Chains A and B, each alone.
Chain A
Amino acid sequence: MNPPNPTAVAEAPPETPPRRPLRLPRDRHAIVDSFFRFQSLFGLVAVFLIAIAVSPVRNGENVFLSSGNLANIVRAVSEIGIIAVGMTFVILIGGIDLSVGAVLGLAAVGSATLMVNSGLGILPTVLIVLFIGTAFGATQGAIVARLGIQSFIVTLAGLQAARGIARMWSGGLGIPIAYGDGPQEAPEAFSLLSGSINGVLPVPAVLFLAIGVGALLVLRSTAFARHVYAIGGNEKAARLSGVPVRRVRITVFAISGLLAALAGIIHAGQLNQGSPNDGAGYELDAIAAVVIGGTSLAGGSGSMGGTIAGALLLGILNNILALNNIDANVQLVVKGLVIVAAAALQKLRPRIA
């Protein structure tokens, strides 16, 4: 909590109660500060409203607002969103995880191979794939923590390794998933990943939002979260004050690997195929969501709510550009501008001391 600005105090009415956390902002600085703190939320609302305004109208119905379209948006960003949740933890400690897209591909291949070729059920398949992702992430975390190599380099190597393993495991080709009870067929229930709850809410979207909220709670209220912020803020100070830096590091990368693997399972379920090239470039979309969400790549500051908002914002942007038939190349430029604008806004954030 920042000390109150002297002029603001002078202007404030005398009966102002003492400052409490989460009270409504009373002075200009507090308003400005909370704008920047929740910039991605404001951005999300703004983009949402703009999307409604510019959406094409068909048969008197706003196409963007139609329930099918909104469901499509959240479904389309769910994999990136889940990865971005894990990525937020990593970025908060001042790291980066470039391996997530490749781990997604590895997990998609694993899901397809284990069910179709090895004849495993859904539960063992999911557990094995999630374990592989977690172990892969934890191994990267251990290398970062023990050997002190920058996570950029370790996870760049991890990206190559995961792709290579996925190609070896699949023989270089996508493994189609057919459903049924026979040999070479996956259990029918796996296809529910591409279904919707009560026909409205896509399953991947629900998983994304549930994981997002879960991670938001973790980041709000646990000692683990305080350690994550402490390491990202000042690693040396954190270590000196007794934060188990290595363990937190390993845990953070393990979470990122776990969530990338989960996204890979969802990917396989949605597309009825596990291909070793799945998820190429997804790490960059996830990083973009985190950055738009206001989390600093320097570590130590940022929020999970911002990341969720950032992922949804990217999804809405993709959708409304497509609905208005904006040229694919122009879409790329627009997305680039939005990312830079979000980062620039963070730089403008006033440091009130």
Chain B
Amino acid sequence: MRYARRAVAILALTVLATTSACSIEKDEPGSGTDASAKCGSGKDFLIGMSQANNAEPYRQVMNDDVTNAAKDVPGFKVVVSDAAQDNSKQVADVENFLSQGIDLLIISPNEAKPLTAVVKKAYDQGIPVIVLDRKVEGDAYTAFIGGDNVAIGRAAGEYYAKTLLPQGGKVVEISGLPGSTPAAERAQGFREGIASNPKIEIVASQTAEWLREKGQSVMDAMLKAQPDIDAVYAHNDPMAEGAYLAAKAAGKESTIKFTGIDALPVPSGGIKAVEQGRLQATFQYPTGGREAIDMAKKILVDCATDVPKTTTLGTMQITKENAAEAYTTLGGKQ
């Protein structure tokens, strides 16, 4: 065992030697101030868009919204990075943006705490930072733009109370990932929304973790446990589609009504499902991509210094009547 001990000892000693022999400083942010002084029309601007995970359709649509909106602003060039759900990768992505000398950072953080330091670093260098959808901690950013999940849930609940089930009925809820904020807020808002109609009853609530395939298996089970379901409130469109498939397999798709949330303008998204009659309604969860570029234009081109710190985006109710129109308005390609 002697050699093994020696091997470990050498490794341990090198670590100790290097850590103890040197003075270590915390990285202090540099105090560059050139970014805000650079604003004005007729100039070129490089905007870094740091995305948490391109593999989620919602985030891909957010990227598309940002890049498409930027095409309409002369001088704007957007570069997009994908952190593939890895906090470390997203920190490195932002560092690379800083090396490239971006004029403005748009970031949709994978998680709040791990990205806070690097966002602050950019902000302290004088680079305007627009945070999308998920927040970072503290206030070292220029602006936050995001949706309001409680309001979306409430809008869905009110639609149930007044339009979908005015006579009341039995509703099952298929919820998002337990412990995730959007799932909790979409559940809470819905209960507030249906409160005006006491004849609506939530008879079961199960999680399908945002996934279409789990929506299907959860609905399979609920169809057996609950013989007379009137409607399914799913926390996102894929789970609603999965539930629809389960009901169809049981021959009950025409007697049960389905609604989702998100309303992505993509062929596999909820708007198309409403248009094609599988879902009764879906409620848009806005990406904020276009709004972010509007704000970037105010900051960089119009030299605005007092943009709102927090912008809460509204939702859009999508039913058969407005589905085709909404698909185009929200930037979907046929």
Residues in chain A within 8 A of chain B (CB atoms): 56, 58-59, 63, 66, 68-69, 72, 75-76, 79, 172-174, 176-177, 191-192, 194-199, 203, 206-207, 210-211, 213-215, 217-218, 222-225, 227, 247-248, 251, 255, 258, 262, 267, 270-273, 275, 278, 280-281, 318-319, 322-323, 325, 328-329
Q: Which of B4, B17, B93, B95 contacts A251 (CB 8 A)?
A: B4
Question: In the assembled complex, which residues on chain A have CB atoms less than 8 Å from the CB atom of B11?
Answer: 211, 214-215, 218, 255, 258
A223 to B6, CA, bound (A): 10
Given contacts A72-B99, A214-B11, whether A271 and B24 have CB atoms under 8 Å apart is no
A211-B15, A218-B11, A273-B113 given as contacts; is B24 within 8 A of A203 (CB)?
yes
Partner of A72, one of B18, B22, B87, B95: B95
A140 to chain B, nearest CB (A): 16
Find chain A residues with CB under 8 A from B321 CB: none
Which of B78-86, B144-152, B185-193, B291-299 forms contacts with chain A? B78-86
Contact of A271 among B79, B87, B100 (CB under 8 A): B87
Q: Provided the pairs A222-B6, A272-B116 are in contact, do residues A66 and B87 lie with their beta carbons within 8 angstroms?
A: no
Please pick, from B7, B24, B84, the residue contacting A222 in the complex, using a CB distance under 8 A.
Answer: B7
- A66 CA to B101 CA, complexed, in Å: 12
Bound CA–CA A236/B79 (angstroms): 55
Contact of A273 among B10, B17, B92, B114 (CB under 8 A): B114
Contact of A192 among B26, B98, B100 (CB under 8 A): B26
Measured CB to CB, the residues of B under 8 A from A are: 1, 3-4, 6-8, 10-11, 13-15, 17-19, 22-28, 54, 79-82, 84-88, 91-93, 95-96, 98-101, 111, 113-114, 116-117, 179
Residues of chain B with a CB closer than 8 A to A224's CB: 3-4, 6-7
Contact B81 A227 (CB under 8 A): no
* In the complex with contacts A207-B19, A222-B3, A272-B114 CB distance below 8 A: yes
Residues of A within 8 A of B18 (CB): 206-207, 210
Q: Give the docked Cα–Cα distance between A213 and B15 (Å).
A: 10
Interface of B is mostly: helix
Q: A206-B19, A255-B7 are in contact. List 17 more A-B contacts (CB 8 A).
A: A56-B100, A63-B101, A79-B88, A194-B26, A194-B27, A195-B27, A196-B24, A197-B22, A198-B25, A199-B25, A207-B18, A251-B7, A258-B8, A271-B113, A280-B86, A323-B100, A325-B100
User: For A59, what are the chain B residues with a Cβ–Cβ distance below 8 Å?
Assistant: 101
For A209, the closest partner residue in chain B by CB is B18
**What's the nearest-Cβ distance from chain A to residue B260, in Å?**
25
Contact of B87 among A172, A197, A218, A278 (CB under 8 A): A278
B10 neighbours in A (Cβ, 8 Å): 214, 217-218
CB distance from A95 to the nearest CB of B (A): 16
What 6 pairs across the A-B complex have the smallest Cβ distances?
A271-B114, A224-B3, A214-B14, A328-B82, A210-B18, A176-B113
In the complex, chain B residues whose CB is within 8 Å of the CB of A271:
87-88, 91, 113-114
Given contacts A211-B15, A215-B11, A224-B3, is CB(A76)–CB(B92) below 8 Å? yes
Most A CB atoms within 10 A — which of B23, B26, B86? B26
Enumerate chain B residues within 8 angstroms of A75, measured Cβ to Cβ: 92
CA distance A270 to B14 in the complex (A): 21
Task: Verify A318–B92 contact, CB threshold 8 A.
Answer: yes
In the complex, which of the residues A194, A223, A248, A328 contacts B80, with contact meaning CB atoms closer than 8 Å?
A: A328
Chain A residues closer than 8 Å to B22, beta-carbon distance: 197-198, 206
Name the residue of chain A whose CB is nearest to the CB of B4: A251
Q: Would you call B88 and A173 a contact (CB within 8 A)?
A: no
Q: Which residues of chain A have C-beta atoms less than 8 A from B98's C-beta?
A: 68
A315 to chain B: closest residue by CB: B92
A247 touches B1 (CB 8 A): yes
- Let me know if B100 and A267 touch, CB within 8 A: no
Closest approach, in angstroms, between the C-beta of B93 and any C-beta of chain A?
7
Closest A residue, CB atoms, query B17: A210
Nearest Cβ distance between residue B193 and chain A, in whole angstroms? 28
Q: Can you name the residue of chain A whose Cβ is closest to the Cβ of B95?
A: A72
The smallest C-beta distance from A323 to any residue of chain B, in angstroms, reads: 6
Note all chain A residues with C-beta closer than 8 A to B117.
Answer: 194, 272
Q: Is the CB of A63 within 8 A of B99?
A: yes
Shortest CB-to-CB span from A128 to chain B, Å, is 16
CA distance A210 to B16 in the complex (A): 10
Interchain residue pairs with CB less than 8 A apart (11)? A69-B99, A194-B117, A195-B24, A197-B25, A198-B23, A199-B27, A203-B24, A207-B18, A262-B15, A272-B114, A272-B116
Residues of B contacting A56 with CB < 8 Å?
A: 100
Are A275 and B111 within 8 A (Cβ)?
Answer: yes
Given the interface pairs A197-B23, A211-B11, A328-B81, the reply to whether A58 lies near B113 with Cβ below 8 Å is no
Q: A58–B34 Cα gap in the complex (Å)?
A: 14
- With both beta carbons as reference points, the residue of chain B lying nearest to A173 in the complex is identified as B179
> With a CB–CB cut-off of 8 A, which chain B residues contact A262?
15
CA distance A273 to B95 in the complex (A): 19
**Chain B, residue nearest A277 (CB):** B85
* B114 cross-chain contacts in A, Cβ below 8 A: 174, 271-273, 275
Question: Which B-chain residue is minimally distant from A215 (CB atoms)?
Answer: B11
CB distance from B122 to the nearest CB of A (A): 13
- The answer to whether A227 touches B3 (Cβ under 8 A) is yes
- Would you call B14 and A322 a contact (CB within 8 A)? no
User: How many Å lie between the Cα of A56 and that of B8 in the bound state?
Assistant: 43
**B111 to A195, Cβ gap below 8 A?**
no
A59 and B34 alpha carbons, distance in the complex (Å): 13
Chain A residues in 8 Å Cβ range of B13: 214
